[in-house]
């Protein structure tokens, strides 16, 4: 059992390293609840505090409320609308842009989702939409520049998670 979990952990680490999402999904979907627990323990035990991947991570350089404020300013959406439940296109666009900038700044989808009361997969889809839509991407770039594009680009180049 322990060797099986180590093999599974190795496969998962390689798939993550190679950005092979289908393999990651296959491994996790086929694992039992007990396997997932053992896998988590195995992976956690293998992390060293001096690991280069951990050493590269830097805390975000801008707060989520600052990102939201600027995204609302650029898109013409109020913060009340932004945090509300309405789904008008301009409000949704403001959220997606803020999530994209937040992920660029170093926040994870889970962090952004918790702070903005949305599920992390909703955040992920919004970020992907900005990446694919040139008009939204142009607005997102304006948000980055207003916040201080150099700070966000520095954080991204130093290994901030997106």
* Cβ atoms 109, 123 nearer than 8 A: yes
- Is 59 a domain residue? no
* Cβ atoms 99, 127 nearer than 8 A: yes
Q: Answer yes or no: do 6 and 41 share one domain.
A: yes
Retrieve residue 123's tokens.
């955040």
Q: Answer yes or no: do 91 and 121 share one domain.
A: yes
pLDDT tens-digit map of 22-62: 888 888 888 887 777 777 776 766 666 565 555 555 556 78
pLDDT tens-digit map of 83-122: 998 999 999 999 999 999 998 888 889 989 999 889 999 9
Give me the pLDDT at residue 2, please: 58
Q: Answer yes or no: do 98 and 41 share one domain.
A: no
Mean pLDDT across 75-85: 93
Q: What is the mean pLDDT of the chain?
A: 81
Q: Answer yes or no: do 78 and 143 share one domain.
A: yes
- Is 111 a domain residue? yes
| Cα–Cα distance measured from residue 124 to residue 129, given in angstroms and rounded to the nearest whole number | 9
Retrieve residue 20's tokens.
């092979």
Residues with Cβ within 8 Å of 119's Cβ and at least 6 positions away in sequence, in order, are 113
The pTM of the full predicted model, rounded to 2 decimals, is: 0.60
Q: Answer yes or no: do 23 and 96 share one domain.
A: no
Q: Answer yes or no: do 140 and 98 share one domain.
A: yes
Please report, for the domain that includes residue 127, its CATH number.
1.10.1750.10
117 CB-contact burial (10 Å; exposed 0-12 / middle 13-18 / buried 19+)? exposed
Q: Which domain holds residue 10?
A: 2-47
Domain count, the chain: 2
Q: Answer yes or no: do 73 and 148 share one domain.
A: yes
Residues with Cβ within 8 Å of 64's Cβ and at least 6 positions away in sequence, in order, are 98, 102, 107, 111, 112, 115, 116
């Amino acid at each position: 059992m322990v060797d099986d979990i180590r093999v599974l952990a190795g496969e998962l680490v390689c798939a993550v390293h190679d950005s092979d999402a289908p393999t990651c999904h296959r491994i996790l979907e086929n694992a039992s609840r007990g396997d997932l627990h053992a896998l988590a323990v195995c992976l956690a035990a293998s992390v060293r505090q001096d690991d280069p991947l951990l050493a590269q991570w830097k805390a975000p350089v801008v707060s989520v409320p600052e990102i939201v404020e600027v995204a609302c300013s650029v898109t013409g959406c109020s913060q009340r609308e932004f945090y509300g439940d309405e789904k008008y296109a301009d409000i949704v666009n403001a959220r997606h842009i803020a999530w994209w900038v937040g992920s660029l700044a170093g926040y994870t989808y889970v962090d952004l989702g918790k702070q903005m009361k949305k599920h992390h997969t909703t955040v992920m889809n919004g970020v992907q939409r900005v990446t694919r839509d040139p008009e939204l991407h142009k607005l997102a770039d304006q948000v980055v520049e207003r916040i201080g594009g150099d700070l966000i680009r520095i954080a991204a180049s130093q290994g901030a998670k997106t």
